[in-house]
Amino acid sequence: MVWKRIASRAAVAALVLGLTACSGMTRQGRNTAVGAGVGAVGGAILTGGSTAGTLGGAVVGGVVGHEINK
């Protein structure tokens, strides 16, 4: 239980730090990065922190973020 809490907090921290690097990106690139980050956190939460769930969420979120505003 403690490891899941640590992993989820680390994922949120990585997402926040990653978003600061988006300042020079295009809108589509920023949407892709944000979608991948949100998808990774969502996938980790929904699957109890499994690697496959986290990666799957990142992929799905990245694709959705990429396709927004096309």
**DSSP type of residue 70:** -
pLDDT at position 48 = 87
Of 22, 24, 36, nearest to 65 (Cα)?
36
pLDDT at position 37 = 87
What ranges do the domains of the chain cover? 2-67
pLDDT at position 22 = 66
What is the distance of C-alpha 57 from the center of its chain? 7
pLDDT at position 66 = 92
For residues 29 and 48, give the distance between their C-alpha atoms in angstroms, rounded to a whole number.
Answer: 28
Q: What is the pLDDT along the chain (70 residues), one digit of tens a residue?
A: 677 777 777 777 777 776 666 678 888 888 898 899 899 889 988 998 888 998 999 999 999 999 987 6
